[in-house]
């Protein structure tokens, strides 16, 4: 849920309309009573993709013969 908020994901409100998701206001959004259905498959994929794209190397990170610079993005854009 925090990642959805950080990415500015927009969700449908119970009373109609669409608004940026905020964890503190989660009860105002459709399907908020069921955590297994709250995010659609597509929304889950978007959250995971954003998490992968935000991965950054720390000093000394290597993958086989690839050496990453500190702060370098690890996931593909």
- Structural domain total, the chain: 1
Q: What's the pLDDT tens digit per position in 19-66?
A: 999 999 999 999 999 989 999 999 999 999 999 888 888 888 888 888
What is the biggest distance separating any 2 CA atoms in the chain, rounded to whole angstroms? 54
Smallest Cα–Cα separation from 46: which of 19, 18, 6? 6
Domain boundaries, position 24: 2-67
> What pLDDT score does 2 carry?
94
- DSSP assignments along 16-70, one per residue: S-EEE--GGGGGGBTTTT-HHHHS-HHHHHHHHHHHHHT-B--TT-EETTEEPPT
pTM of the model: 0.74
Query: Is the residue at 74 inside a domain?
Result: no
Query: Is the residue at 49 inside a domain?
Result: yes
């Amino acid at each position: 849920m925090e990642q959805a908020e950080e990415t500015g994901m927009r969700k449908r409100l119970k009373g109609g309309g669409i608004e940026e998701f905020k964890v503190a206001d989660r009860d105002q959004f459709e399907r908020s009573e069921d955590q297994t259905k709250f995010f659609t498959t597509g929304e889950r994929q978007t959250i995971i993709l954003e998490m992968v794209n935000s991965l950054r190397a720390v000093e000394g990170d290597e993958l086989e013969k690839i050496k990453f610079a500190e702060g370098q993005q690890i996931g593909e854009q």
